[in-house]
Amino acid sequence: MLYHKIIYIVSVMTSIFALSGINYEKFIKKNKIYETRFLVILLSLALGYLVGSFIIAFIET
């Protein structure tokens, strides 16, 4: 089950990289830096989990 953890870590890191290309200034209020960073962390964890689960389900079937 070690490959599950590796897949999840790689998919979260990939989602952080992908979400860093989005310009959040259009969606977030000014001077809300910490809230924006927290939102990016939550979105990257959620997206990484979904992508990792998809990859693991694809490999196991």
pLDDT tens sequence across 17-60: 999 998 888 888 888 889 888 999 999 999 999 999 999 999 99
**Higher-pLDDT residue of 9, 32:** 9
User: Is the dihedral angle over the CA atoms 23, 28, 31, 36 positive or is it negative?
Assistant: negative
Q: What is the pLDDT of residue 26?
A: 83
| Whole-structure pTM value | 0.84
SS3 31: coil
Q: What is the pLDDT of residue 11?
A: 97
Q: What is the pLDDT of residue 7?
A: 96
